[in-house]
Amino acid sequence: MPTAFMCPLHFTRARLLITAAFRMIATLTVCAVMAACTTVSGTGRKQFNVYSTSQENAMGAQAYQDEMKDAKVIISGPVFDRVQKIGARIATAAKQLHPEIANTMVWKWTVIDDPNMVNAWMLPGGYGAVYTGLVNFVQSDDELAIVMGHEAAHAIARHGGERMTQDALAQLGASAAGAATNSEAIAQGAAMGLQAGILLPYSRKQESEADELGLFIAAQAGYDPRCAIELWRRMQAQGGAKIEFLSTHPSEGTRIELLQQQMPQAYAIYQRTRVDGTATDAKDFVDTKPPSR
């Protein structure tokens, strides 16, 4: 089969057309940003999100129903009770720290029986799930709260709507490039470039932001934030090394470094909640001794 070839003249023309297309998209994006720029609660980061909270919550509710269709759900027992107790404290802490967005969420934590899945998630609107594989993996309620706080932080920071907005812009850009050059191959190449150069860096930023917000939420709920570092180290050992450049999560080394920077503030919050009981179910943790580290 002959090798596909694009002559230099056509290649130059295609490049100019792609550049023009992306300049047009950039102009439209700047206009849209001015109308759809929001601020992430807790970090102050500006984000581009064309969806309202009610739209996000409705899509989260639908996605949750879809996820539950084939899920093996646990509705009672020690594991269920444990997740609900931690989830209640995470919800109350989030409402204390981020009342505007957290009070619009339903705060539902579903336990899914899958011992091979070390995972948890929370969709827009507060529809969350914890897998039994994660419950078996963590070594304390503190560690489980760190993960649940991280997932809750994604919803608090409205990462779902932000990500959907980014995806829509990426599809628009790829389509414009393909239309300008009348080339499906160029459209696909442009989409791959956007995926590596635009979408994934935002995702890493979102993960780091969820680490930060989730750490403070867990601490506000009365869970020891110091366990986060050992937790992520164990996860790193379990999952092996990652290449950060094309990963949707920061490398574990980067994650731990950032958590260490945030730990003094998080631990101060944790110590305060143990004294004044600002989080829910204060009777369960105010009088307990701090763990030795």
Known active-site residue 151: yes
**Active-site choice (56, 100, 143, 151):** 151
Which residue is it, tokens 């600002």? Answer: 278
**Are the beta carbons of 57 and 125 closer than 8 angstroms?**
yes
Q: Which residues contact 209 (CB under 8 A, 6 or more apart)?
A: 40, 43, 45, 153, 157, 159
Buried b (16+ CB within 10 A) or exposed e, 131-161: bbbbbebbeebbbbbbbbbbbbbbbbbbbbb
- List of residues 6+ apart from 276 with CB closer than 8 A: none
End-to-end CA distance of the chain: 65
Residue with tokens 């849209």: 32
Rounded to whole angstroms, how far apart are CA atoms 109 and 244?
A: 30
Judged by DSSP in three states, 114 sits in coil
| CA nearest to 97, candidates 283, 223, 279, 284 | 279
Give catalytic residues, as residue numbers. Answer: 151
